[in-house]
Amino acid sequence: MVETRLPRNPKSKEWLAKDHSLQYIADYKPFNFVDGEGVRCSLYVSGCLFNCPGCYNKAAQNFHYGQPYTQDLEDKIIEDLSQSYVQGLTLLGGEPFLNTQVCLKLVKRVRKEFGHEKDIWSWSGYTWEELMKESSDKLELLHYLDILVDGRFLLAKKDLTLQFRGSSNQRIIDVPQSLQTGKVAIWDKLVH
């Protein structure tokens, strides 16, 4: 049967991390080559409400999935990131912007330890335009990012040839430049 259901569309500030996040982690993958540019350490947070048909990580839609985020895990991520060949941290899930307690704590530590020597990428089911009208914790997290890959996964727009995205509605956004100009700026290294 062809899936015709669409992902959910929250109103502005309808979903808040404080009401949903249990601060659980679905997975942590150090030293991978697939979640952004270069060698990366990826944190998969638990819980997402968008419910996209064809979601690449359905188990992680559950806020109870996996294990609690711990100080030990954070220390390990920082140690892994300190390797010279690691380019940066990636946040994905689940929905990082519905787990801002964990993500903000981690990105603040990353900036404190490494400044801008390591970059920070995040995926989100929210679009850039939606995030602009969202809660202060989500906007704060956005301000720590270098790259945001935005938007729901849409089966009708699925394209496996795209760099770092599953469907053609999603964009790889240069966050500092977009914030500075007030207009979405696409990553300048985008090939396809």
**Footprint on residues 101-120 left by ligand SF4 (CB under 6 A):** none
- The site string for ligand SF4 over 44-83 (x = CB under 6 A, - otherwise) reads ----x-xxx--xxx---x----------------------
**Footprint on residues 12-51 left by ligand SF4 (CB under 6 A):** 48, 50-51
How many of the chain's residues bind ligand SF4 (CB under 6 A)? 15
Q: Per CB under 6 A, does 93 bind ligand SF4?
A: yes
Closest CA to 96 of 118, 123, 64, 69: 123
What is the nearest approach in angstroms of ligand SF4 to the Cβ of residue 69? 17
Contact of 29 with 41, CB cutoff 8 Å: yes
Contact of 113 with 84, CB cutoff 8 Å: no
- Which residue blocks in 71-171 are alpha helix, DSSP H? 71-81, 100-114, 128-131, 136-143
What is the nearest approach in angstroms of ligand SF4 to the Cβ of residue 160? 14
Closest CA to 173 of 61, 44, 36, 47: 36
Tell me how many degrees the CA angle 174-177-33 measures, rounded to the nearest 5.
Answer: 25
- Cβ proximity to ligand SF4: between 7 and 36 the closer is 7
- Cβ proximity to ligand SF4: between 78 and 122 the closer is 122
Q: How many Å apart are CA 7 and CA 94, to the nearest integer? A: 14
In the complex, the residues that contact ligand SF4 under the rule CB under 6 A are 7, 48, 50-52, 55-57, 61, 93-95, 125, 152-153
